[in-house]
Structure 1
Amino acid sequence: MSKEPIHIRTPLTRETNESLQTGDVVLLSGVLFTARDAAHARIKKAIENDEPLPFDPEGQVVYFTGPAPARPGHALGPAGPTTASRMDPYSPLLIERGLKGMVGKGLRSEAVLSSMREHGCLYFGAVEGTAALLADRVKEAEVVAYEDLGAEAVRRLVVEDFPVVVVNDLRGGDLYREGRERWRRRRAR
């Protein structure tokens, strides 16, 4: 694990992702897209119908969040991470199309983890309870698709030093599993 945060610019590449490992603290700068359950369902339908997607997933990072309305003088309202497993039925479709990063909270399914390893995608965790602090890292925000979904619309965010932790790396590392194993070992002493 790295001791100092690693500064990374989006879009991500497989080579960049291969250099990171579970537990690395990363400060993302560049573009992130937001999408939650309802947006993912529409993206799946667009893929199935061979329709254009709201963004080209190649090299991109999707943040699973539904932000609150922006306060005056802010690009985005509080935007904490959503439980990622709700996107598991849809994530491989975007990963297969070049998605290189996802940000959320909680465990991912084995199908998603397998797709991530095969296609070079990382899963990052954002800290729960820091929605307002995370929103402060957003410099620009605009709805790019599905405006009728309100908070669940797809947004294009420009972020600066957006803090995340690598939860699942390309080597099969899993921060949740590893953390539980360390806890069990310490408890057994």
Structure 2
Amino acid sequence: MDAGQLSFEQYVRDRKVSLSRIAYLLTGDHHLAEDLVQQTLLKMAGRWRHVVASGDPDPYVRKALYHEHVSWWRRARRRAEVAAPAVDRSMPDSTDPVAVAVAVQQALARLAPRQRAALVLRYFEDLSETQTAEVLGCRVGTVKSQVRDGLARLRVLAPELADLLEVQS
């Protein structure tokens, strides 16, 4: 089925899990991730014909998801800050994928939102630097510096993930 004939309902069925994963990595919270995906899809539903007319809807929806997240953290920054949750800094068992996933999620939560978004799009969504720049609405050089700085920050904030971070460099 070509993108022009793709119904909104079918797109949501096919991509909701992937969009939820991106949203979770951006927000660090399952409930906020669900809200972020729902809010983004609600906005997409009203313009679905325009979205599919442009071709592949994935880049458009990812960009909308990211921009919705940005507006959330901008609003949150204006409100009083809430104390960050306690972080487990013990070394994750590298043979336990759940422990590694939790450690990565906690480490990502400690990054600045733009660094977190750049890392999520590059390494979890496997987008190219150019595609990531398009989603974030910035230049490729900015993506490169956000990824570089994000990885460097993770090395300081989460030394327990050093082996995993070396693979990504």
Greater RCO (Cα-Cα under 8 Å, separation 6 or more): 1
Point out the structure with the larger strand share: 1
Q: Shared fold by TM > 0.5?
A: no
TM bin, normalised by shorter chain, reads under 0.3
Report the TM-score when normalising by structure 2: 0.26
- Higher relative helix content: 2
TM-score calculated relative to the size of structure 1: 0.23
